[in-house]
Amino acid sequence: MMWVLRRWIQTAATFLSNAYLMFPASRNIYQGRLKSVCTPGLNCYSCPAATGACPLGSLQNFYATLRPGLEQGRLHVGLYVIGFLGIIGSLVGRMPCAWVCPFGFLQEIIYKIPSRKFEIPHVLIYGKYVFLGLFIVILPAVVVDDFGYGVTWFCKYVCPAGTLEAGIPMLALQPSLRELIGPLFYNKMAVLLLFLILMVFIKRPFCRVVCPLGAIYSLFNRVSVFRMVHHPDKCVLCEECYRHCPMGVRFYEGANQVDCIRCLKCYQESCKFGAISYEVAGIRLPSIRTKRPEKEAPAD
């Protein structure tokens, strides 16, 4: 089953992104060469167990040090990270959100807590592009100190993954850091708590409204090698795809929408009528189910 396979891959990706198990002994983060490689999902590089670099943290650092770099004749604008994300995006679009992002995985697990569930206003899904533009690029590059250095705004004021994966564990590992706790930390804890609560009631609230990494990948959904395909002639608008979608996407309103994370749940488990399939490099793969909508049986 695709669902079981995805859970296994999500678990493996979470473990591989956080495979440095020596941190209880070293009381520090991993500092090996693997840290120069970005993880495809959102995973804080200051998590004591993190083995790779956070692409968002890396991008912000490039823009926060843009001016001093230029003064030293060094033009680093994050092409390595942009290229890395672009390669993944142009191959599979937003698929990493569904299959390898540890924070997305966490949101899906928490959403399973039984409760009344809510939908978010559609307009909020564009919030992630505001966070991408403002907090990842513009503010780190523009708001600078006397020496020209900016701040990683998203990490500092928003990212709940950093608080959860790095803040709490590092404060537990290094008691000396606790003396530095101030309003900023409480602000970040409040953001984390807010999202942890929202995750119970709303499908992947952070991914849909805030995540700049998802925003970057989403730009590739329509032009990636892997693409979802909708067959309107077979679709009966039963909304089963919407009910099962972990992102609350109404697939029948258009394949490859910005919030489609290609988890393939609709394809494998929801659609009974073969209205959903996918293509790789223009080669269309057949629908799993090809059952046509049955007409009502005539009354005897």
Partner 1 sequence: MKQESRKIPFVVLVIFIILFIIGININEVSAVWEKAVQICFNCIGIG
Residues that bind partner 1 (CB under 8 A): 28-31, 33, 35-36, 38, 44-46, 52-54, 57-58, 61-62, 75-76, 78-87, 89-91, 151-152, 155-156, 159, 162-163, 166-167, 170-171, 177, 180-182, 184-185, 187-189, 220, 223-225, 281-282
Please say whether the dihedral angle defined by the alpha carbons of residues 151, 157, 161 and 166, taken in this order, is positive or negative: positive
Q: How far is CA 185 from the centre of its chain?
A: 23
What are residue 210's phi and psi, to 5 degrees?
-115, -40
Per the CB < 8 A criterion, the answer to whether 155 and 164 are in contact is no
Q: How far is CA 274 from the centre of its chain?
A: 28
Q: How far apart are CA 40 and CA 281, in angstroms?
A: 21
Per the CB < 8 A criterion, the answer to whether 267 and 240 are in contact is no
Beta-carbon contacts of residue 217 (< 8 Å; ≥ 6 apart) = 85, 88, 89, 93, 94, 95, 96, 97
Please say whether the dihedral angle defined by the alpha carbons of residues 58, 63, 67 and 70, taken in this order, is positive or negative: positive
- The owner of tokens 């989403």 is 218
Per the CB < 8 A criterion, the answer to whether 209 and 248 are in contact is no
Beta-carbon contacts of residue 220 (< 8 Å; ≥ 6 apart) = 86, 89, 90, 93, 94
What are residue 48's phi and psi, to 5 degrees?
-55, -30
H or E, element range at 252:
none
Tokens standing for 219? 């730009």
Give the number of other CB atoms < 10 A from CB of residue 155: 25
Bridge partners of residue 202, in order along the sequence: 118
